[in-house]
Structure 1
């Protein structure tokens, strides 16, 4: 089981955090985090349910991480092992994650696929998302996988859709001309865009687009 205790500094004050695998005792808090992170118009039926969470902790507990501060779970990151061929990149979130149930988990897969990352809004200035992502990179290395991969939302794209294609929008974000809250965050985490896919996830802000972003295992 993964467990790491660290100190963050918020406004110069040390804040102890615990990064660990989440468990069944955390399910109610994890669902609350989803509701805080993805309010309407994001479909509430896409928030976690307890059957999905039970699959996460039983099928691939190494891919189920959370951060705890003062006894409260404030963020989570979920992954699944899959076989991925970059030459055939098109897929949907539902296909790659089995609608979040991860019953397609492949212990012999070559890729750790990010199912979800969520941080309570009140804690987003702490840099917890990047800490969780780096912890998941450790899992990729430990298991000898080729990459970490996931489809990032493009929540800023709707404002630019009349003047930019989805690929042009991503290029503008990479070049620093536009800030996108998700893509820019993933770039700061060391992830690299490899493809833009249509109808990736039902998401009005992204016009259902997603951008696949990977982190390659430097030891493979």
Structure 2
């Protein structure tokens, strides 16, 4: 069963789920969970700062915070002082610092990067409110094991150098927090930390002194392309192991999207070598549902949106080529390849889809077309008219001629539609698989052509015919500026009085 993950504001009705999660999250601090009335008071005082993470609509963790005028407290303070002895009368809407007073996740739901989502949401809030940064006191719960031989400072240095793993401090370091100071008696009841805590700080690089408006939102999107090596795998499990390796690797770089090539799962057709080509591709389609479910699981657990390349699918006895968008919140959508090459028709009897639409994601509006589709300019233009900002193109080409058709057309689509285009293909050979014996690719992230973009129109590309990943950032704000102020404005200057492109309803 797939999971749905969501981030939202905490409500008073969430208390009992929260109490269970906190009690289990801090087994060494029994009885120190938040009281219901205390939590209600905090929510009423600063609702935006109380963030919940849910899995299948169940609250399994939270991040609580207040705004303080940090100069009134300085670096020498206790938890009770910063919270006004749990009255939160220290909360100051005109303050300059977001103070984190709690973060935890139910232990049964750890390993899904849920805490990272809470931290990312808190950072976004800090930027939106134009605060200097985030400060919090952090426990060092493993220190009791080393207290006899290490001072707190020595312990922190060894955690920073990865010689010691501390579940709280190691996580803080990985989220760009720095240790400003060691605090004594910050939480006297914290016996595991021996009463010590780290004073942690994250700096908001977008902070502007005296700014009084909310002006910041995330504009940079990180894209990871998988240039997949076609090779024999040890069945379905072997292929999935390689898929997870790439998802994990791209996720480790903080990517928002990972893109796989068209029909990347073709190595599994070896199982059906005794069949003719049409029967073999339908045999491969039997794996599609399992693959889709694995991708949905990976999207949630690795916190990355996945464009699954494409996979053959049989619907009502008809064969289609389908790509899935698996969002990191557990939801998914699909796109069916519309334009089928003559070879795909003749060898496999494949049919084309009929739906043209954009997909909403947490990183803007995206479009998906598959390989041959990108050679028809009307299709991406229809998507651009629906607000598409990034076009993803999984492809599979056997020769350099075929690849260049995809590459040059994708570059044209980026320019004429004022959008980014990401293409991902496969390399290598499958000599034992009919109709899949050769592959040629150079995956790339392509841009419009104007002063704000690379002169070549290429943000990043792979080494041709080499298994690798490509990771690059694209700035969506630049697209907005291009639409309004570009040297030429292709979307604005269309002669709609003379011609138009419309979708015929089938």
Is TM > 0.5 for Structure 1 vs Structure 2? yes
3-state SS, counterpart of residue 117 of structure 1: strand
The equivalent residue for 2:107 is 121
Q: 1:98 to 1:34 in 2, by over 3 A?
A: farther
Structural mapping, 1:1-220, within 5 Å = 15-39=3-27, 41-44=28-31, 46-85=32-71, 88-201=74-187, 202-220=189-207
Could you tell me how far apart the structure 2 residues matched to 1:14 and 1:217 are?
35
RMSD: 1.7
Could you tell me how far apart the structure 2 residues matched to 1:93 and 1:73 are?
25
TM-score (norm 1): 0.89
Following superposition, which runs of at least 4 residues in structure 1 exceed 6 angstroms of deviation?
A: none
3-state SS, counterpart of residue 88 of structure 1: coil
Q: 1:17 to 1:180 in 2, by over 3 A?
A: same
Could you tell me how far apart the structure 2 residues matched to 1:180 and 1:86 are?
31
3-state SS, counterpart of residue 125 of structure 1: coil
3-state SS, counterpart of residue 15 of structure 1: coil
Q: 1:199 to 1:55 in 2, by over 3 A?
A: same
* Larger RCO: 1 or 2 (CA < 8 Å, sep 6+): 1
- Contact map agreement 2:23 2:30 (CA 8 A) in 1: no
- Contact map agreement 2:4 2:57 (CA 8 A) in 1: no
Q: 1:99 to 1:127 in 2, by over 3 A?
A: farther
Could you tell me how far apart the structure 2 residues matched to 1:14 and 1:84 are?
43
- Contact map agreement 1:31 1:48 (CA 8 A) in 2: yes
Describe the superposition over 1:16-43 as per-residue Cα deviations: whole angstroms up to 9, x where unpaired.
211000111111111111111112x414
Unaligned runs of 5+ in 2: 208-506
The equivalent residue for 2:374 is none
3-state SS, counterpart of residue 169 of structure 1: helix
Could you tell me how far apart the structure 2 residues matched to 1:194 and 1:50 are?
32
